[in-house]
């Protein structure tokens, strides 16, 4: 099966500013940041989106959730706060069909989003 864009980034076939990686996941800076800090956290496993995850992925999803806090702290977002977003499907604006968590912060963020 063809690799997704984020698999290619995780495998370092496409360059990206990686801020964290381990055996299960990779985090890198978004190419079009929506805020001073905008990191994408992706599992190495190419799950298309959160709705496609199964019970088999439970430990992986827990790992990702715990990494969100670690990355936010490392990026200096813990004090001011930050937002996590997982776009799923066309109406939510998902453009890359590989599960990813946006970690966004470093400025005041509007809520609700547009």
The residues of the shown chain that bind ligand 5GP, judged by CB under 6 A, are 5, 16, 28-32, 40, 87, 93-96
> Minimum Å distance from CB 15 to ligand 5GP?
8
Q: Is 102 a catalytic residue?
A: no
At its nearest, how many Å lie between ligand 5GP and the CB of residue 20? 14
CA distance 39 to 20: 10
- Spatial strand order of the sheet with 37-43 comes to 18-21, 25-29, 37-43, 101-105, 82-85
Q: Which residue, 24 or 85, is less far from ligand 5GP as judged by CB?
A: 85
CA 92 from centre of chain: 15
Catalytic residue of the set 38, 98, 100, 102: 100
Task: State how far the Cα of 39 lies from the Cα of 68, in Å rounded to an integer.
Answer: 10
2 or 79: whose CB is closer to ligand 5GP?
A: 2
DSSP conformational letter for 4: P
49/57 with CB nearer ligand 5GP:
49
The residues that are catalytic are 100
């Amino acid at each position: 099966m063809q690799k997704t864009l984020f698999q290619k980034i995780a495998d370092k076939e496409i360059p990206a500013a990686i801020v964290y990686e381990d055996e299960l996941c990779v985090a890198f800076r978004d190419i079009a940041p929506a805020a001073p800090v905008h990191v994408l956290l992706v599992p190495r496993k190419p799950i298309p989106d959160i709705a496609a995850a199964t019970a088999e992925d439970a430990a992986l999803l827990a790992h990702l959730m715990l990494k969100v806090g670690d990355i936010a702290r490392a990026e200096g977002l813990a004090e001011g706060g930050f937002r996590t977003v997982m776009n799923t499907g066309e109406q939510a604006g998902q453009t890359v069909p590989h599960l990813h968590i946006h970690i966004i912060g470093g400025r005041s963020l509007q809520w609700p989003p547009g």
